[in-house]
Amino acid sequence: MNRTLASLWAVVGFCSACHLEPTGGRSVVDFIGDAELVVLAEVIDVSYADSEGEVQIPHTYVTYAIDEVLKGHYEEPHRNLVLRLAGGVGRLEIDLTDLHNETLPAEVEVDEERGVAFVEDAIFGVSETTLFDPGERSVLMIRRNGEVQCPLVGCADGRFRVVNGFVFTEDGRELSIHPNGEIVVGGAHSLYEVEHNLVGGYEVRYAGGGDASGSGDGSEGEGYRVYPAGESLRLDDFLAWIRLQVEAESNIGGEVPSLAVPNLVPGEPFQVPAPTAKPFGGLQEAPVVSAPEEEGA
């Protein structure tokens, strides 16, 4: 049976401004400078856990095998690196008075006496975050792991996807190197890795992407694009470029991280500040969320 759960995507409304650091207008060089740790890594496991305390918030643990450390260091480098991000899969309790002419799906449990409804295995989305799937490779710019709701500089902006040997932004925009040596963000591409994700065993599909025309940052990106259509900056070139930036940062007396980035353990109890936004913002019809067909169905 193929069960569509689009209506069970929970808008929990975590306050992105509470824990995310503003990064508008910054360059990739700035991101490297702000990062405590920069790595090339592959996702090998994704798991979920709720925070403890008065308000229990679903979180996602992402475990990475590290291919290369480009800047900084992390605790227990002999083992895989584990980051924790707000959002994931959990039990959603909805005050029925928060519903505005919305119809609850049949599978939602309703307690009329208490005036609440419960959604098991609801997917909690967090604005400005990113989803990771096992097998995906990325260049990550990491900061304050275990302290903030998204331990990447600029959150989604601090992740660069590696697809078929090329590097793209988190949302699938191509990269190139401007003649002045800076990274230029170009046109969007319809990448499977961007438009399909697994969350708690459910497939989340986003409609998006586009062609390779136009510039993503308002600059003259089209004129500076030196890679064939459909491609982006090659991984080896991007890594070489980052190494140069890290070396330059060190040579001019830039901040060199002295403390190791915390390496978390999935399942260990943890607490986070309660979100300041309203905990329920309505049932959405998108993105499309569905479960794989069950055997024998």
Neighbouring-strand partners of residue 11? 125
- Residue 220: pLDDT band by 50, 70, 90 thresholds? very low
Which residue is associated with the tokens 């090329």? Answer: 166
For 139, the token pair is: 């260049």
Structure confidence at residue 253 (pLDDT): 62
pLDDT of 183 reads: 93
At 161-194, the pLDDT tens digits run: 999 999 999 999 999 999 889 999 988 888 889 9
pTM: 0.78
Contacts of 137 (CB under 8 A, 6+ apart): 40, 41, 42, 43, 67, 161, 162
pLDDT of res. 276: 53
Distance of CA 177 to the CA centre of its chain: 24
Structure-model confidence comparison of residues 114 and 6, the more confident one = 114
3-state secondary structure of 47: strand
pLDDT tier for residue 118 given thresholds of 50, 70 and 90:
confident
Question: What count of Cα atoms within 13 Å lies in the side-chain half-sphere of residue 193?
Answer: 24
User: Is 262's pLDDT higher than 80?
Assistant: yes
Structure tokens at 143: 């900061």
- Arithmetic mean of pLDDT, 96-113: 75
The C-alpha atoms of residue 243 and residue 254 are separated, in whole angstroms, by 14
Q: Using the 8-state DSSP alphabet, how is residue 144 labeled?
A: S
The string of pLDDT tens digits covering residues 226-259 is: 556 668 999 999 999 999 999 998 876 666 667 8
Any idea which of 50-64, 90-104, 174-188, 212-226 has the lowest mean pLDDT? Answer: 212-226
Share above pLDDT 90 across residues of the chain, in percent, rounded to a whole number: 42
Q: Work out the pLDDT band at 115, boundaries 50, 70, 90.
A: confident
Confirm if 260 and 41 have CB atoms less than 8 A apart: no
Write down the domain spans for the chain: 6-284
